[in-house]
Amino acid sequence: MHSTLGKYHLLFSLIKDIFTPKLFLSMQRTSQLLDKLEMPLTIEMTQKSRELAAQGHNVISLSLGEPDFDTPEFIKEAAKVGIDQNFSHYMPVPGYVDVREAICKKFKRDNNISYSPNQIVVSTGAKQSLANVVLSLIDAGDEVIIPAPYWVSYIEQVKIAGGEAVVIPTTMENDFKITPRQLKEAMTAKSRMMIFSSPNNPSGAMYSEQELRALAEVIATKKDFYIVSDEIYELIRYDQEHFSLASIPEIYDQVITVNGLSKGFAMTGWRLGYIGAPVWIAKACDKMQSQFTSGACSIAQRAAIAAVEAQPEQVGYMLTKFKERRDVMLKLLNAIPGFHVNTPPGAFYAFVEVTGALGKAFNGNKINSSLDLSMYILNHAHVSSVPGEAFGLDGYIRFSYAASLEDLIEAGRRIDEAIKKMS
Ligand code: PLP
């Protein structure tokens, strides 16, 4: 009898211990690596605006980095055929051979780069393509040069690999682009990689052929220095031709070209990205990917053939709309007191210099940073945006103009009204 009671007592105290917060918390210990990572502010801002919307507010979302169009019909049709033809089994890790062949043709046609299928790795989004490259090439202590403003995940992926990010800041005055001199000064014996995007997210900046050739001269001086050229916004450009760094023969062996379907084909949810790279780097990415996801979604891959085989003009209607919206958005933003924006040649973002609107207050709360201002605009104008801090450049806010003209005009009106309320 006594011993049965004793057993219950023991059981009870065990259960009690399990549910005490201390033990509970120690059970929930996450890795040191995870603790070093940031949650992308882009995703956080979107989450906050969804919460406001759930409370019944009419929130205009200009924080997300995706086209507001649906995937074109001809691509959806190709996916449906893929389903009917039972493309439902595992495939080679770097992608179906015919998909990689189609990507090679696209690289030749649009970018003047010669790749063969064994130089292509298809992944679950360009984000995974980038992660594959960074994890395959970067060791602890390697330096990775990243011009700011940069896309949020570059820095975090370098951290995961144990590398050191070396940020080169740019300004609106130099159109958010680095010069060959800045690159040269940032390079050390430890420099292993540079990651950049053109067109750029968040600034929309694009490097011209001449500017890339000048950077290539510096890159060519260090043969163990690799450049990740993120060209995911290639198709979204208005006033300038796109040029690919890997088309310069002197540095072909040093460049990894990253691209994908998310932006140009309005396929963010399909998760399809790819790289073209020297064979040994493609092989390394194949090995890395084989331990995470294996091959990318079979149906998205069948759809990818239709997308990359299409002439860029087939999705030109989106570009026409984006350009119209860009021009309206720039006018609206430039008219807001303390805001200043240049004309971005690519992508679908306005990266606004807002320092003239900082240092003011509302209801006794000081608005000192672009993060404060972005939050103020969300809470008082119900317009979501992403502060420059997310992209490594304070004093700026990114507004996406991948939204209807009606929403953009209303957003401009609300932001203007909110800014004028600060004193
Ligand atoms: N690179 C840049 C510059 C981006 O802006 C994004 C998405 O926002 C990506 C890569 C990732 O694209 P994906 O949707 O293919 O993973």
Lookup result for tokens 């990205």: 273
Which of 130, 232, 267 most suits a substitution to test ligand 1, by most atoms within 8 Å of the C-beta? 232
Third-level CATH fold of 41-70+315-420 = Aspartate Aminotransferase, domain 1 (3.90.1150)
**Strand ranges across the sheet with 255-260:** 120-123, 273-276, 255-260, 226-230, 191-197, 143-148, 164-169
Q: Is the CB of 230 under 6 A from ligand 1?
A: yes
C-alpha 283 – ligand 1 centre gap (Å): 22
Q: Is the CB of 273 under 6 A from ligand 1?
A: yes
The pLDDT of residue 12: 60
Tokens of 147: 């011009």
CA distance 322 to 199: 14
The pLDDT of residue 43: 78
Domain ranges of the chain: 41-70+315-420, 73-310
Cβ neighbour number for residue 383 with a 10 Å cutoff: 26
Which of 201, 235, 348 most suits a substitution to test ligand 1, by most atoms within 8 Å of the C-beta? 201
Burial class from Cβ neighbours inside 10 Å (0-12, 13-18, 19+) for residue 54 reads exposed
- Dihedral through CA 186, CA 349, CA 213, CA 229, nearest 10? 70
Q: What atom of ligand 1 comes closest to residue 200's alpha carbon?
A: 3
Q: Is the CB of 124 under 6 A from ligand 1?
A: no
* Within this chain, domains 41-70+315-420 and 73-310 share the same CATH topology: no
C-alpha 408 – ligand 1 centre gap (Å): 23
Strand pairing report for 273-276 and 120-123: antiparallel
Which of 46, 150, 262, 271 most suits a substitution to test ligand 1, by most atoms within 8 Å of the C-beta? 262
Q: What atom of ligand 1 comes closest to residue 230's alpha carbon?
A: 1
The pLDDT of residue 16: 62
The answer to whether 46 and 387 have CB atoms below 8 angstroms apart is: no
- For the chain (423 residues), the mean pLDDT of every run of 10, in chain order, is 55 59 74 88 82 94 92 98 98 98 98 98 98 98 98 95 98 96 98 98 98 98 98 95 98 98 97 98 98 98 98 92 97 97 97 97 94 95 96 96 97 97 94
Please name the residue whose Cα sits nearest to atom 8 of ligand 1.
65
Q: What atom of ligand 1 comes closest to residue 126's alpha carbon?
A: 15
CA distance 212 to 208: 6
The pLDDT of residue 1: 43
Please name the residue whose Cα sits nearest to atom 12 of ligand 1.
126
Helix/strand/coil (H/E/C) assignment for every residue in the chain: CHHHHHHHHHHHHHHHHHCCHHHHHHHCCCCHHHHHCCCCHHHHHHHHHHHHHHCCCCCEECCCCCCCCCCCHHHHHHHHHHHHCCCCCCCCCCCCHHHHHHHHHHHHHHHCCCCCHHHEEEECCHHHHHHHHHHHHCCCCCEEEEEECCCCHHHHHHHHHCCEEEEEECCHHHCCCCCHHHHHHHCCCCEEEEEEECCCCCCCCCCCHHHHHHHHHHHCCCCCCEEEEECCCCCCECCCCCCCHHHCHHHHHHEEEEEECCCCCCCHHHCCEEEECCHHHHHHHHHHHHCCCCCCCHHHHHHHHHHHHCCHHHHHHHHHHHHHHHHHHHHHHHCCCCCECCCCCECCEEEEECHHHCCEEECCEEECCHHHHHHHHHHHHCEECEEHHHHCCCCEEEEECCCCHHHHHHHHHHHHHHHHHCC
Task: Domain 73-310: state its class.
Answer: alpha beta
CA distance 422 to 384: 18
